[in-house]
């Protein structure tokens, strides 16, 4: 248990009885939740962690084989849950972490009372009858750019992800966060994320789920959020006022308020 706490840099704060665990997305770490979790510490036991290879996790534990698909990250989440004393969790996942949480809850539904998905996407590629947001050539270009010049890739991607042109400091800060990653690990995580396809798993989810979608998201468009909602039986879709793929960073107050309203209901 101590190994998992160290491996995944598990942090526990708050003073409530109900446990709520926050999972970060690709290119990020648990620090992106700082402003959001402040709103939950009075009423919940708050757990944050880093997936292996991200943030302050033990990067010596990283294995290309284990993390060659989303199921390796799913196991990270289950390991973190099993290392704690709680019987049940609310899981809040951003972006690809939404799908990681879904896979974990399908395998162990008794572990999760509710799921919250922020900007989820089960598949990022456009296909006949499905608009994921990217053509295959877009993804290949992005992955190639990561290999050729990682810092230029980060500089290009950050403003696209944040989509708050009137607040350039958000893109600048996110660019720094992306640059703090190990480029080789980030390259593999990016490929795993953007080539994943777990659409067939959506209908297997039995845990009540909130889907949070911003007005404009260049990474996971509104059509994708609607698709996820349509394919998860017990789900609620909320369109936020926020813009961009990272509302928990750009609009932490609204993000926390939407989650709280759902949990209260």
Work out the number of other CB atoms within 10 angstroms of the CB of residue 256: 19
CA angle at 119 for the pair 40 and 30, rounded to the nearest 5°: 45
Query: Residue 29, class by beta-carbon neighbours within 10 Å (0-12 exposed, 13-18 middle, 19+ buried)?
Result: buried
Single pTM value for the model: 0.97
Q: How far apart are CA 65 and CA 93, in angstroms?
A: 23
- Where residue 244 falls (left for φ over 0; alpha for ψ -120 to 50; beta otherwise) is left
Residues recorded for the chain: 265
10-residue block means of pLDDT along the chain (265 residues)?
87 96 97 97 97 96 96 97 95 98 98 98 96 96 95 95 96 96 96 97 98 97 97 98 98 98 95
Give the pairing type, strands 44-48 and 11-14.
Answer: antiparallel
Q: Quote the DSSP letter at residue 20.
A: E
Q: How far apart are CA 225 and CA 203, in angstroms?
A: 14
Helical H runs in the chain? 2-7, 34-37, 70-82, 96-107, 136-148, 150-162, 168-179, 183-194, 222-231, 247-250, 252-264
Residue-wise pLDDT for 65-82, tens only, equals 999 999 999 999 999 999
Residues with catalytic roles: 95, 217, 245
């Amino acid at each position: 248990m101590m190994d998992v706490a160290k491996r995944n840099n598990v942090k526990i704060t708050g003073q409530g009885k109900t446990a709520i665990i926050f999972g970060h997305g690709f290119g990020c770490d648990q620090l992106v939740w700082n402003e959001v979790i402040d709103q939950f510490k009075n009423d919940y036991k708050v757990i944050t962690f880093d997936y292996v290879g991200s943030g302050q996790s033990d990067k010596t534990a990283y294995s290309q084989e284990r993390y060659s698909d989303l199921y390796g990250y799913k196991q990270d989440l289950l390991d973190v849950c099993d290392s704690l004393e709680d019987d049940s969790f609310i899981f809040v996942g951003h972006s690809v972490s939404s799908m990681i949480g879904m896979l974990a809850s399908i395998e162990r539904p008794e572990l999760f009372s509710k799921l919250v998905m922020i900007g989820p996407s089960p598949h990022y590629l456009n296909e006949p009858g499905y608009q994921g947001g990217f053509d295959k050539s877009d993804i290949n270009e992005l992955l190639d750019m990561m290999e050729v010049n990682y810092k230029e890739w980060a500089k290009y991607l950050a403003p696209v992800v944040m989509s708050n042109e009137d607040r350039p400091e958000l893109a600048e800060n996110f660019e720094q966060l992306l640059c703090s990653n190990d480029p080789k690990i980030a390259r593999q995580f990016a490929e795993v994320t953007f080539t994943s396809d777990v659409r067939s798993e959506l209908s297997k989810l039995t845990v009540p789920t909130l889907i949070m979608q911003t007005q404009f998201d260049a990474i996971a468009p509104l059509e994708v959020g609607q698709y996820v909602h349509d394919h998860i039986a017990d789900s609620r879709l909320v369109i936020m006022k926020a813009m961009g793929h990272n509302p928990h960073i750009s609009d932490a107050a609204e993000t926390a308020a939407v989650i709280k309203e759902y949990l209260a209901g």
